[in-house]
Amino acid sequence: MKRRSFLKTAAALPAFAAAGRLFAAPTAGPRFLLVFLRGGYDCANVLVPYASDFYYESRPNIAIARPDANVKDGALALDANWALAPALRGPIERLYLAKQAAFVPFAGTDDLSRSHFETQDSIERGEPADKRNYGSGFMARLAATLGARAAPIAFTDALPLTFRGAGDVPNISLRAVGKPAFDERQDAILASMYQDHHLHAAVADGLELRQQVAHEFEDAAQQAASRGAINARGFAVEATRIARLMRDEYRLGFVDVGGWDTHVNEGGARGQLAGNLDNLSRGLDAFASALGPEWNNTVVVVLSEFGRTFRENGNRGTDHGHGSVYWVLGGGIAGGRIAGQQVRVQASTLVQNRDYPVLNDYRAVLGGLFARLWGLDRDRIGQVFPRSAPADLRLV
Amino acid sequence: MSVLSMFLPTFRSAFLSAALILAAGIGHAGDGRLGRDDARWLERVTYGLDTATVARLREIGRKRFLEEQLAPLDETLPKSVQAQIDALDISKIPATKLVADEVEAQQRIRAMPDGEAKQQARKAREELGNEYAYQAMRRHLLRAVYSPAQLKEQMDWFWLNHFSVFARKAGVRWLAADYEERAIRPHALGNFRDLVMATLTHPAMLQYLDNAQNAVGHVNENYARELMELHTLGVDAGYTQTDVQELARVLTGVGIARPDAPARPAWRHEFVSDGLFAFYPARHDFGPKTLLGEKIRGHGFAEVEEAVDLLVSQPACARFVSRKIAEYFVADTPPPALVEAMARTFQSTHGNIAAVLRTMFESHEFEASLGGKFKDPMHYVVSSVRLAYDGKPIANERPLVNWLRGQGEMLFGHQSPDGYPLTETAWASSGQLSRRFEIARAIGSGTAGLFVPENGGPPGSGFPNLSNHLFFEAIQPYLSKATIVALDAAKSPQEWNAFLLASPEFNYR
């Protein structure tokens, strides 16, 4: 096992032994991974409102066909109103049937700017709309609230806004795992320069994490090298790595997946969006498998900054909209259902006659989930999502 | 390339002998030698040490050096660096032309039938706009590394960040270069009120914070709010939502000139325009307003001047701006007494930025803080290149841009209007530190590609020699024992370079 050999090496290096924060990970307690789909994914072609004639009128070119055993590429019925995109046949369908997946439609923010950046930022901050503290994210506040139970990490190049403001949260992208710039001797020397410095733990952690990841994924890195870089579609590879780190060390994770801004040629049962969904679902499946039995102790939420226009545009795509569909996954969740407030899908219920409304505020939904997951009371949830009343969807 | 000299086999013995020479005497700058803490002082007043800057300080001493920096007469760049800047499109094409071309191109694209070709055309325009924003970054970085007016370059960055715009919002990418050149740089060491007016009337800001859409009956408060909260008074200055609304009314009609929409004759006498900026009286709310308790009579663009006068003369503005400057140059939490002293200068000089800086640099609080400010990525990257290549022009700025992107501090890349944070906690996460050390390694080993021209040409090779006279004179005396031991453990000069650039002493200024 790679980890053991790494620990042995690390023990030989005094600087690492002195830091030791990475290995003080909690031994039990739930895990939470937030998967942010950047770009605003088209939820109406993922959780298909197949009972709505209006859906089929609105999307003459890109609608997904009604569930029908005789139709190839038809949607997969989940209940009398909703069906799953055929691109999610297999892993996600299986999880849903096993009650390990749920969907929350009409979810999102009260931000109507329809700007990717503004809405992503406001979700990552998780503050009330009138509060403008740009430097504090809700995952950071959750980590602070959970204290020793948190063990947070961002699987991204830069520390995302949602993890800012909580002191040292490690961040490292696992998209491509290359050789570290320094060997362990050099790491020890680098860390030694900071031995009496207040950044010592951060320096040692950063170098250690880099080595740890390289050791952990030595085989994968070699395979990748022989195939060239892991391409953007390889979320399964990345997700497997994330699972391996979260299984052993970390309890609170963040990762983002791009490419959802489908203004042109979005496709229906096949095409651009379907390809992205396939990539995403293989990744989530790989994540669940790699966790093994610990999947039962893990919750994943997949969300995006907004939904898209309910009607298709002139380019067989969709434009920036409002309400979205959030996914909740996990081995131990009360899934297999469509959760939260709902409304009939028709022209009169759209916001500004163009988008899904938001009936399930993301702060309330996530707050309710966190409350159950970690047994947090209203005050604690209020630290994470100030002035938000948690909505208990009984998903965990 | 001379600075890329090969490894000196004797570098360790040279290290020892130079250390002995240095121990022989510390003088006072001005008499040809560096005084105590002079090098660290220089690391604050400039982006970082190089031979020329140290020589200048040695020659004229701190006081004259500071005056030269506060009112720079010499901004001459190395010839080849100036040639690189002159060759950029943004140096050759005025913003009015860039915008006119873009308007025309968008009209052409709108007339195209929907489909692949239209999408391609749109994408090509967007990429061209991004290229212009990228050129603005390249120009900014070249000046930061090579200009002798180092304090002005730092203040140029500081104000660009204070009056932050985001290149990827709407048409800002076409205007970013002009925004820096005409709204920020001329006032970087000048008068704060002029700076506010220059940003207020620049189309980049008007577009970024939506004031171009602010009109009577369709009020958009976005810019008015940030003008008070982020640009002048600060969030806790005691103004109210009503003040925001009233300031937004004052700002109605302040927008972007449209050559295709000339002012109506009836309004012509009230119309104000300058380049891409225009004040449209027909869109202005001419009713009376009350801002911060003061009555403002409705009389067109002069209201804007009055409102800005009112904002910048508030004691809260003097304190807010002084505090932020001190946060950038002195400490994450600057001493309140220093901020008060700077604010008094700000008020007595009516916002003279150079005077406020002089008060700060000459204070004992500043002196006491030397070496304690963590370098943000911009300072880190620029100071590394200055030290490593010591005035030698690089041929490719892309690695610098990529490092700043990787560290999350790209110029014109901050989405929200608050600008990048100036404190250590924003830049010293474990992931950021390990990546920073990778930058140290790339520069130290000469593998960064800084001498490989982007459009082909002969690549440079070799690595810098940081174990040089500058090091022994200005860096080595301040190193901790731990760092000296670490440097001594280096097995190659490349490794030695990387360790030095990764050391705590080099990561603080």
The answer, yes or no, to whether residue A9 has pLDDT greater than 80, is: no
Query: Which residues in chain B have Cβ-Cβ distances shorter than 8 Å to A136?
Result: none
CA distances from B46 to B29, B144, B387, B412, B497 (A): 16, 9, 12, 22, 21
Query: Which residues in chain A have Cβ-Cβ distances shorter than 8 Å to B407?
Result: 158
Q: Is A236 left (phi over 0), alpha (psi -120 to 50) or beta?
A: alpha
Inter-chain residue contact B430 with A196, CB threshold 8 Å = no
User: What distance in Å separates the CA atoms of residue B164 and residue B153, rounded to the nearest whole number?
Assistant: 16
Report the percentage of chain B scoring pLDDT > 70. 91
Give DSSP secondary structure letters for B231-266.
IIS-TTS---HHHHHHHHHHTTTEEE--TTSPPPGG
Q: Which of residues 272-331 of A touch B (CB under 8 A)?
A: 314-315
Q: What pLDDT score was predicted for residue B415?
A: 80
User: Which of A169, A186, A193 lies closest to B429 in CB terms?
Assistant: A169
- Rounded to the nearest 5 degrees, what angle is found at the Cα of A205, between the Cα atoms of A202 and A211? 145
- Rounded to the nearest 5 degrees, what angle is found at the Cα of A362, between the Cα atoms of A359 and A366? 125
Inter-chain residue contact A315 with B114, CB threshold 8 Å = yes
How long is chain B? 509
The answer, yes or no, to whether residue A12 has pLDDT greater than 50, is: no
Long-range contacts formed by B5-8: CB under 8 A, 24+ apart: B5/B462, B5/B465, B6/B462, B7/B463, B7/B465, B7/B492, B7/B493, B7/B494, B8/B465, B8/B467, B8/B493
Residue with tokens 């403001």: A165
Report the percentage of chain A scoring pLDDT > 90. 66
Inter-chain residue contact B429 with A197, CB threshold 8 Å = no
Buried b / exposed e across B102-126, counting CB within 10 Å, b at 16+?
beeeeeebeeeeeeeebbeebeebe
Residue with tokens 């590609």: B449
ipTM reported for the complex, 2 dp: 0.89
Q: What pLDDT score was predicted for residue A118?
A: 82
Tell me which of A239-243, A328-332, B256-260 is least confident: B256-260
Q: What pLDDT score was predicted for residue A148?
A: 85
**Å from A392 to nearest chain B CA?**
32
The answer, yes or no, to whether residue B20 has pLDDT greater than 80, is: no
Q: Give the H/E segment covering residue A104.
A: strand A101-108
Structure tokens at A114: 């329809």
Determine the residue type at A85: A
Query: In this complex, how many residue pairs, one in chain A and one in chain B, have their CB atoms less than 8 Å apart?
Result: 111
Q: Give B437: exposed, middle or buried? Use CB within 10 Å, 0-12, 13-18, 19+.
A: buried
- Rounded to the nearest 5 degrees, what angle is found at the Cα of B224, between the Cα atoms of B218 and B230? 150
Q: What pLDDT score was predicted for residue B387?
A: 97
List the alpha helices (DSSP H) in B364-429. 364-369, 377-389, 398-407
User: What distance in Å separates the CA atoms of residue A110 and residue B320, rounded to the nearest whole number?
Assistant: 31
Q: What pLDDT score was predicted for residue A215?
A: 80
Q: What pLDDT score was predicted for residue B488?
A: 97
Q: What pLDDT score was predicted for residue A72?
A: 87
pLDDT band at A326 (very low <50, low <70, confident <90, very high): very high
What is the dihedral angle through the alpha carbons of B107, B108, B114, B120, rounded to the nearest 10 degrees? Answer: -110
Q: What pLDDT score was predicted for residue A212?
A: 83
Q: What pLDDT score was predicted for residue B458?
A: 63
Tens-place pLDDT, residues A55-68: 999 999 999 999 99
User: What distance in Å separates the CA atoms of residue A173 and residue A150, rounded to the nearest whole number?
Assistant: 19
Inter-chain residue contact B480 with A196, CB threshold 8 Å = yes
The answer, yes or no, to whether residue A94 has pLDDT greater than 50, is: yes
Q: Which of B434, B441, B483, B491 to mutate to test the interface with A (most CBs of A within 10 A)?
A: B434
The answer, yes or no, to whether residue B3 has pLDDT greater than 50, is: no
**Å from A170 to nearest chain B CA?**
5
pLDDT band at A4 (very low <50, low <70, confident <90, very high): very low
Q: Which of A123, A185, A190 to mutate to test the interface with B (most CBs of B within 10 A)?
A: A190
Q: Which of residues 152-211 of A touch B (CB under 8 A)?
A: 154, 157-159, 164, 167-172, 181-182, 186, 189-190, 192-197, 199, 202-203, 205-207, 209-210
- Rounded to the nearest 5 degrees, what angle is found at the Cα of B359, between the Cα atoms of B354 and B365? 135
Rg of the Cα atoms in chain A: 22
Q: What pLDDT score was predicted for residue A180?
A: 87
Q: Does B437 touch chain A (CB under 8 A)?
A: yes
Q: Give B458: exposed, middle or buried? Use CB within 10 Å, 0-12, 13-18, 19+.
A: exposed
pLDDT, average across residues A144-157: 90
**Å from B444 to nearest chain A CA?**
12
User: Which of B229, B406, B482 lies closest to A193 in CB terms?
Assistant: B482
pLDDT, average across residues B345-350: 98
User: What distance in Å separates the CA atoms of residue B49 and residue B379, rounded to the nearest whole number?
Assistant: 11
pLDDT, average across residues A189-193: 97
pLDDT, average across residues B179-201: 98
Q: Which of A193, A209, A211 to mutate to test the interface with B (most CBs of B within 10 A)?
A: A193
Tell me which of A85-89, B254-258, B457-461 is least confident: B457-461
Tens-place pLDDT, residues B392-416: 999 999 999 999 998 889 999 988 8
User: What distance in Å separates the CA atoms of residue A312 and residue A58, rounded to the nearest whole number?
Assistant: 6
Inter-chain residue contact A189 with B169, CB threshold 8 Å = no
What is the widest separation between alpha-carbon atoms in chain A? 71
Q: Does B406 touch chain A (CB under 8 A)?
A: yes
The chain-wide mean pLDDT, for chain A, equals 87
Inter-chain residue contact A190 with B437, CB threshold 8 Å = yes
Determine the residue type at B128: L
The answer, yes or no, to whether residue B356 has pLDDT greater than 80, is: yes
The answer to whether A181 and B438 have CB atoms below 8 angstroms apart is yes
The answer, yes or no, to whether residue A5 has pLDDT greater than 60, is: no
Query: Which residues in chain B have Cβ-Cβ distances shorter than 8 Å to A169?
Result: 429
Taking each helix axis as running N to C, give the angle between helix B315-329 and helix B353-361, from 0 to 180 degrees, rounded to the nearest 10: 50
CA distances from A376 to A372, A388, B93 (A): 7, 14, 59
User: What distance in Å separates the CA atoms of residue B44 and residue B365, rounded to the nearest whole number?
Assistant: 13
pLDDT, average across residues B485-496: 97
pLDDT band at A28 (very low <50, low <70, confident <90, very high): confident
Q: Does B19 touch chain A (CB under 8 A)?
A: no
Q: B21 vs A65, which has greater pLDDT?
A: A65
Query: Which residues in chain A have Cβ-Cβ distances shorter than 8 Å to B485?
Result: 192
The chain-wide mean pLDDT, for chain B, equals 91
Q: Which has the closest alpha carbon to B308: B351, B278, B272, B354?
A: B351
pLDDT band at A178 (very low <50, low <70, confident <90, very high): confident
Inter-chain residue contact B486 with A189, CB threshold 8 Å = yes
pLDDT, average across residues B495-504: 98
User: What distance in Å separates the CA atoms of residue A104 and residue B370, rounded to the nearest whole number?
Assistant: 54
Q: Which has the closest alpha carbon to B223: B194, B191, B256, B192?
A: B256
Q: What pLDDT score was predicted for residue B474?
A: 94
pLDDT, average across residues B423-434: 88
The sign of the dihedral angle between the CA atoms of B380, B385, B387, B388 is: positive
The answer to whether A274 and A268 have CB atoms below 8 angstroms apart is yes
Inter-chain residue contact A168 with B430, CB threshold 8 Å = yes
Contacts of A219 (CB under 8 A, 6+ apart): none
User: What distance in Å separates the CA atoms of residue A318 and residue B118, rounded to the nearest whole number?
Assistant: 16
Give DSSP secondary structure letters for B343-368.
HHHHHHTTSBHHHHHHHHHTSHHHHH
**Å from A369 to nearest chain B CA?**
28
Closest residue in B to A202 (Cα) is: B430
Query: Which residues in chain A have Cβ-Cβ distances shorter than 8 Å to B229?
Result: 132
3-class state of residue A355 by DSSP:
strand
Q: What pLDDT score was predicted for residue B406?
A: 86
- Phi/psi at A381 (5° precision): -60, -35
pLDDT, average across residues B369-375: 97
The answer, yes or no, to whether residue A200 has pLDDT greater than 80, is: yes
Q: What pLDDT score was predicted for residue A278?
A: 94
What is the dihedral angle through the alpha carbons of B109, B114, B115, B118, rounded to the nearest 10 degrees? Answer: 0
The answer, yes or no, to whether residue B61 has pLDDT greater than 50, is: yes
The answer, yes or no, to whether residue A157 has pLDDT greater than 60, is: yes
The answer, yes or no, to whether residue A22 has pLDDT greater than 50, is: no
User: What distance in Å separates the CA atoms of residue A291 and residue A297, rounded to the nearest whole number?
Assistant: 9
Give counts: helices (H), strands (E), chain A: 13, 11
The answer, yes or no, to whether residue A229 has pLDDT greater than 60, is: no
Report the percentage of chain B scoring pLDDT > 90. 79
Q: What pLDDT score was predicted for residue B104?
A: 93
Q: What pLDDT score was predicted for residue B13?
A: 42
β-pairing, A252-257 with A360-361? Answer: unpaired
Q: What pLDDT score was predicted for residue A386?
A: 96
Q: How many CB atoms lie within 10 A of CB B393?
A: 18
Tens-place pLDDT, residues B110-141: 999 988 899 899 999 999 999 999 999 999 99
Q: What pLDDT score was predicted for residue B169?
A: 85
